[in-house]
Amino acid sequence: MRIDLHIHTAASGDGELSPQEVVRLAKESSLRAIAVTDHDSVAAVEEALFWGERQGVEVVPACEFSTGYGGKWLHVLGYFLDIHHPAVEKWCQEAERLRRENVDEQIARLRAAGLYLEKERVLADGPQPMPICYSMAIFADGRNDGNPLVNQYKALEKGAIRFCLDWIATGRPYSAAVHLPAAPEVIGLIAGCGGVPVLAHPAATLGTGHDGLIGELAGCGLAGVEAFTTWHTAEQEDHYWRLCGRYGLIATCGSDFHGKNKPHVRIGQVRNNGYETVELLKDAWRKQAGR
């Protein structure tokens, strides 16, 4: 039976669908299990668990944590997380506060770079926008049509996403930086709240040639790497699958579904997505908790 361990709902600053709609799509796609992994938020997990139980779809409680390490912007997934743990609640509240407070500064920085965007469009998907929301606002504003940089990306597949990763994401030239705790701290937070920490889509955030950094994070308690994802080429998937074998990590799989902000990604659109991956994560969860 197939699974998808990286799905966003409207609780993410760049998601679209309700937990009920996500579970319905998973059921229609014949998925046995999914993980709701919103950005620095667990607000949708309980509702997803409710509908998953009624639809016969196993829902893994999870969250995608924003972090950094070695000058790189990273995402770490926490699976089987205690979503009511005070440390998780505190993290999510702080992340929401920082994103809300950063909106005006980020817009000002992009406008200073000669780009047009309106705050209303940035906030169209919610009050705590992710970096892709700024990119989408720029691409939707016709005043940028004469901008050679924007036009260069419009000609590319997934151009808005690529523009975001190259210019707006944390650490990039047009980013109004938000403080991100270091990845070892986040890994410890996840483990301390009962979760299993897994590095998300490393080729997208790390780029290539940083296997040693992943080895360092494995030494800090990282339990897995999302090897199979819509972010990776087949060659990158094979590379990270082999890397997991080298470091004794679990190779996980997830589509990183968002809805309209990633119209090319469907729920369940990921290779090597057998239920045995969930069983490996459960084994790690039980071992960690001494169950």
**Confidence category of residue 154, pLDDT binned at 50, 70, 90:** very high
The kind and range of the H/E element at 248 are none
Q: What pLDDT sits at residue 277?
A: 98
For 179, the token pair is 């403080």
- Say how many C-beta atoms besides its own lie within 10 A of residue 54's C-beta: 11
Q: What pLDDT sits at residue 261?
A: 80
**Confidence category of residue 290, pLDDT binned at 50, 70, 90:** low
Residue 11 has pLDDT above 90, yes or no: yes
Could you report how far apart the first and last alpha carbons of the chain are, in Å?
25
Q: What is the mean pLDDT of residues 265-274?
A: 94
**Confidence category of residue 291, pLDDT binned at 50, 70, 90:** low
- The domain segmentation of the chain, as residue ranges, is 2-83+194-289
Q: What pLDDT sits at residue 161?
A: 87
Residue 168 has pLDDT above 90, yes or no: yes
The alpha carbons of the chain give a radius of gyration, in whole angstroms, of: 18
Q: What is the mean pLDDT of residues 219-224?
A: 97
* CATH classification number, 2-83+194-289, choose in 3.20.20.140, 3.30.420.40, 3.40.50.300, 1.10.10.10: 3.20.20.140
**What is the per-residue pLDDT across 128-142, written as a single tens digit (0 to 9) for each?**
788 889 999 999 999
Among candidate residues 51, 288, 79, 17, the one with its CA nearest the CA of residue 88: 79
Average pLDDT score, the chain: 93
Least confident of 33-42, 217-226, 245-254, 282-291: 282-291
Residue 126 has pLDDT above 90, yes or no: no
Q: What share of the chain is helix, strand, coil (3-state, %, to 5)?
A: 45, 20, 35
The kind and range of the H/E element at 24 are helix 19-28
Residue 124 has pLDDT above 80, yes or no: yes
More confident residue, 31 or 180: 31
The rounded percent of the chain whose pLDDT value lies above 70 is 99
Q: What pLDDT sits at residue 143?
A: 97
Residue 279 has pLDDT above 90, yes or no: yes
